[in-house]
């Protein structure tokens, strides 16, 4: 047997005030679009704001449905919108925030499994890492250098090659 370990480094900030001006602005924009989420069932509103390599920004919010599996997370809404509005342009950074009437928005949340897979697919498609800024309305903020770090043994198109 050969035992191996997977780990990665990420940055932790105590508040938005410690971020660079550009990162703080992107997170504030994610926070500002969060109320636009359609979340009548979970009451868990998620907002995401991306900065593309061309300098443009685009947002996404989660969109629920009474048939729960049919809903779509903010990260996937954002990536779909980016691909539609700016085809062929890679995403540089995504800031993700949330609010809920049932839980405090005072710590970072992480993308779900389906969103992690989608983020990795997008990184692979454009051969460009996507930096993630994760934070609530207040509290600590995590910066992950590339989304693929959140899915260490991810499935990709290479797994489908003969």
Residues with catalytic annotation?
75
Cβ-based neighbour number of residue 126 at 10 Å: 15
SS3 33: helix
State the Cα–Cα distance between residues 146 and 148, nearest whole angstrom.
6
Helix axes 74-85, 113-126, angle to 10 degrees: 30
Strands (E), 25-90: 44-52, 57-61
- The dihedral sign for the CA sequence 73, 76, 80, 85: positive
Inter-residue contact 73 to 20 (CB < 8 Å): no
**Token couple for 95:** 């800031």
State the Cα–Cα distance between residues 49 and 95, nearest whole angstrom.
5
State the Cα–Cα distance between residues 87 and 153, nearest whole angstrom.
28
């Amino acid at each position: 047997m050969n035992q191996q370990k997977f780990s990665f480094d990420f940055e932790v900030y105590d508040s938005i005030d410690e971020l660079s001006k550009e990162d703080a602005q992107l997170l504030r924009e994610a926070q500002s679009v969060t109320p636009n989420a359609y979340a009548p069932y979970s009451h868990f509103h998620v907002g995401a704001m991306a900065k593309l390599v061309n300098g443009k920004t685009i947002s996404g919010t989660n969109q629920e449905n009474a048939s729960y599996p049919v809903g779509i997370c903010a990260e996937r809404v954002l990536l779909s919108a980016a691909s539609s509005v700016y085809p062929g342009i890679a995403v540089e950074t995504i800031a993700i925030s949330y609010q809920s009437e049932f839980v405090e928005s005072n710590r970072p949340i992480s993308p779900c499994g389906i969103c992690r897979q989608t983020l990795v697919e997008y990184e692979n498609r454009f051969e460009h890492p996507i930096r993630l800024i994760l934070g609530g309305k207040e509290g600590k903020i995590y910066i992950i250098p590339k989304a693929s770090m959140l899915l260490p043994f991810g499935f990709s198109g290479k797994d489908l090659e003969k």
